[in-house]
Amino acid sequence: MATSSEKLARELRGPGLVEIIFSVVLSLLLGVVLGAAHLVFKPVEKKTEKELASAQPAMASLLYRSVQFVEGTNAGGADWRTKQQAFVSGTPGGITFSEGELNTLIATLVPPPKPAAPPAPAAPAKSAAPAEKAKEPKPAVPAFTAAQLAPGVINFRVRDGVLQAATAGSVNYAGLEIAPLVQMRGGFAKGADGLVFQPTEFYIGSLPAHKIPGLPAWLLNKMLAAQKGMPEDLKTAWQKLGSITIEGDALRLSPP
């Protein structure tokens, strides 16, 4: 136990070098965590194709590039079922899926979750004190979405040789359901289990996760592992693919 003279000497001497370094490191880590959380929960600016084409880069955007989201179309996806059957049967020459066909197909394979049914009204509890009113249930807190894309929906956009996949994530923070927009852009490459998507850009909200080494691959594996309901015939056909190329606004799947 420190004596009064030792305590006085410590107060006169001030904090030691180790304490100063520890405080600085802790402050830096806290700042990084708070900054990352701010970017994750920061709403993403949604634009249409027309707005994106006509937008003029302002000086502010040159200094700070805001994260934008352009939703892929669902139009023109009438032939998705025929092409799905041709893909499974291994049609020679390959199959080309348009952006609309991809979004129509994924909506049937991975449908968005249905909203939870409202709870049934509780029966009035019998109590010895009839004057006491039963507590009313608290209203459900709506999910916060960082862009206009419903949680659970997967949306594809194909432009200029790049595939964009976007979905609203699911995070529970202090009892509040948060749904930050997750955007991935990139192409395909050979992996251990066949062709795999390799994002060159990976945004969680406005946070550029692709700038953190190893984080995009880890997050993508977690997202793929969480997906359920993919038919086995599609998985088998995918593993047999020879190449996937992006041609304009379409995805071409070719056999070996």
Domain borders along the chain are: 23-111+142-256
pLDDT in tens, 70-108: 888 888 777 878 888 888 887 777 888 988 999 888 888
Closest CA to 138 of 114, 118, 115, 116: 118
Q: How far apart are CA 13 and CA 235, in angstroms?
A: 68
Lowest-pLDDT choice from 26-30, 149-153, 165-169: 26-30
Q: How far apart are CA 144 and CA 172, in angstroms?
A: 10
For residue 119, the model assigns a pLDDT of 59
Q: How far apart are CA 134 and CA 32, in angstroms?
A: 46
**Where does residue 19 fall: left (phi above 0), alpha (psi -120 to 50 degrees), or beta otherwise?**
alpha
pTM assigned to the model: 0.70
**For residue 212, what is the DSSP state?**
S
| Contact by Cβ (8 Å): 145, 122 | no
For residue 239, the model assigns a pLDDT of 83
pLDDT in tens, 124-134: 555 545 544 45
pLDDT in tens, 164-183: 999 887 666 666 667 788 89
| Mode of pairing for the β-strands spanning 154-159 and 162-168 | antiparallel
Q: How far apart are CA 134 and CA 127, in angstroms?
A: 10
Residues in the chain: 256
